Each structure stands twice: as C-alpha cells, then as structure tokens.
Amino acid sequence: MNIIVCIKQVPDTTNVRIDPETNTLVRSGVQSIINPFDMYAIEEAVRLKEKFGGLVTIVTMGPPQAEEALREAISLGGDEAVLISDRAFAGSDTWATSYTLSKAIQKIGKFDIVICGKQAIDGDTAQVGPGVAAFLDIPQITFVKKIEEINIGSTPAPQGYGAGRVPEYQSASVEYIRAERMTEEGYDIVESPLPCLITVVKEINEPRLPSLKGKMRAKKIEIKKLEAKDLDADPNSLGLKGSPTKVVKIFTPPPRKGGQILEGEVKDICGKLVELLKGEIL
C-alpha cells in the first residue's frame, strides 16, 4: 500500500512572540517544527505501512529549509521524501498550494491513500487537504479520528458492505476505507473507495518518538526535489499569480470588554435585567 503524507513546516507557536508594533508573528529566532497535526498523519501512515506493507512518501512544499521537516518525518518512519520548492511557488494561498501539491502527487505516481493533518497551526484554514483531494479528483474524508478498516484487495469486502449505497462497492474486490470522522456532535462512519485522501485529528493515535535507526537513515536519505518546471502545471495557477485569496487587512480583534454584574435579590434585579436586555443588547 502506497501512502503519501503531506506535511508543513510551521513556527513553533508554543514560544512564538507577536511584534507589538506590527501585530505580526516574530519569525526570527523561532524554531520550526512539523505542524503538530501532521505528526498524527505521519504516525497513521507508518502504522498502515507496518500493517499492510508498502511505502510512505512524505511531501512538503516550502522553502529549502523545509528539508529539516522532511528529515524528521523520515526519522519517524517515513521511507521517501519529496521537497517541492521553487521561487515560482512563493505567495501561494491555499488554492495554489493545493493545486501544486496535487501536481506533485501525480508526479510521484501511484498511491492508495493521501494523509494530511486536519489543518496547520499557523494558517488554521483546514483547506489544503480537501483542496488536494479536489484537484486530484479523488474522494476525501476529513477529520478522521479512527480508520476502522482498509481493504486493499487482498481480503474480500465484508458481507453487506455498501449494500443499498453505491452498487459497485458490493464487488468483493473493491478497495475501500471505512473511517470514523469526528463531528461536533459525535462521529460519522464514512466509507470511500480508494484511492482517497483523509485528514486526521489528534485523537487518531499517539505519535511515536524518533528511533536511532530512523535518525541515521534520515541523515543519509536523499531528498527528491521538485521545481515548477518538473510539474505538468499551469504557470498561471502557481504562486501569487495562482492565488485568488486577497488579504485585505490583518488586525488583532479588540479585547472583549467586561460584562456588567447585577447585584441584589433575584426578584429585585430581574426587571432591571429585562430592561437592560431590551435597551442595549436586543
């Protein structure tokens, strides 16, 4: 089973500072880490590999120093690493990033599943995973908290699988995944044919620590590099040019003012509260 994991190198926000003048992140001197949600994606991929065999390819798009993140992912059990890096990608928004990643994934070749963290802790959009699935034209299951089952053809589909839903799933040879998808109320159980893309939440596993052999391999591994010219991509869809998002303004929302506390017996203040609600708020 071939698995592709998309990761992002982000500033370590546990000790990030905000410039009080410009209200932006102070990036200098801030350590870079693998986006924490992507750590769960790497772990899940490595667990799938350990169960089904195959290869885990780690992909990231970023500046040259994002190579460090790839090497760390290798030390955690990844097999191959691809760095998508080019000045032409600078200024990519989530649309252009998704497009570029999808083009790179097509270049990497055949895969059964793409795994992403649910979102990155710097942008917090949660759009790139779904975007990649859309550009690849494959199904997606977001916010996965548990992979219940994966059939990659070696075992027959369970009795009644897909009954009354999508007819072709009833074929015993179909490759599919069944996953629990976290929602605000609980979870959905979603089935999808493979290949597909999933994004994962932190409930899915507990990432392992790097191993010594993994670290040694990470140090030596050759990182495959992809530039704009290596992708069969429309140049107008890359980087700033390919990014429809316009950032109009960045600001810190004003702090919430403290509420008003009414004191006294309930029967005395009820009327006052009603008046206040009528007058000021409603």
Partner 1 sequence: MDYLLTEEQIMIRDIARQIAQEKIKPVAAKYDAEGIFPWDIVKIMAASDLCGIYIEEKYGGTGGGVMELVLATEELSKACGGISLAFAATALGTFPIILFGTEEQKKKYLPDIAKGKKLAAFGLTEAGAGSDAGAIATTAEKKGDHYVLNGTKQWITNGGEAEVYTVIASTDRSKGPRGAAAFIVEKGMKGFEFGKKEDKMGIRSSATRELVFTDCNIPKENLLAKEGMGFIVAMKTFDQSRPGVASQAVGIAQGALDLTVQYMKERKQFGKSISSFQGLQFMLADMATEIEAARALVYACARMLDSGNTKVSKDSAMAKLFASDVAMKVTVDCVQLFGGYGYMRDYPIEKYMRDAKITQIYEGTNQIQRSIIANHLIKETASK
Contact residues for partner 1, defined by CB under 8 A: 208-216, 219
User: Minimal distance in Å, beta carbon 131 to partner 1?
Assistant: 33
Are the C-beta atoms of residues 58 and 81 closer than 8 Å to each other? yes
Q: What is the CA radius of gyration of the chain?
A: 23
Q: Whose Cβ is closer to partner 1: residue 129's or residue 214's?
A: 214
Nearer to partner 1, 76 or 133 (CB): 76
| Run of H or E including 36 | helix 36-52
Cα separation, 274 vs 268, in Å, equals: 11
Task: In angstroms, give the least distance from the CB of 223 to partner 1.
Answer: 18
CA distance 234 to 156: 41
Rounded to the nearest whole angstrom, what is the least distance from the CB of residue 207 to partner 1 in the complex? 10
- DSSP line for 75-107: HTT--EEEEE--GGGTT--HHHHHHHHHHHHHH
Dist. CA 141–CA 150, nearest whole Å: 13
> Based on CB atoms, which residue is closest to partner 1, 223 or 276?
223
Q: Which residue has the tokens 């994004």?
A: 199
Handedness of CA 235, 237, 239, 241 (dihedral sign): positive
**What is the nearest approach in angstroms of partner 1 to the Cβ of residue 214?**
8
Write down the least CB distance from residue 118 to partner 1, Å: 22
Q: How far, in Å, CA of 210 to CA of 228, rounded?
A: 32
Residue among 74 and 226 whose Cβ is closer to partner 1:
74
Instruction: Identify which of residues 79 and 230 has a Cβ nearer to partner 1 in the complex.
Output: 79
* Shortest spacing between CB 52 and partner 1, in angstroms: 19
How is residue 78 written in tokens? 């990844």
> In this complex, which beta carbon is closest to partner 1, that of residue 217 or of residue 224?
217
Contacts of 142 (CB under 8 A, 6+ apart): 118, 126, 129, 130, 181, 198, 199
Residue 36 CB, nearest distance to partner 1 (Å)? 13
In whole angstroms, what is the distance from residue 58 CA to residue 214 CA? 14
Nearest-approach distance from CB 212 to partner 1, in angstroms: 4
Nearer to partner 1, 195 or 207 (CB): 207
Cα 152 to Cα 1: distance, rounded to the nearest angstrom: 7
Q: Tell me the C-alpha distance between 45 and 272, whole Å.
A: 59
> Is the CB of 62 or the CB of 77 nearer to partner 1?
77
CA distance 40 to 200: 7
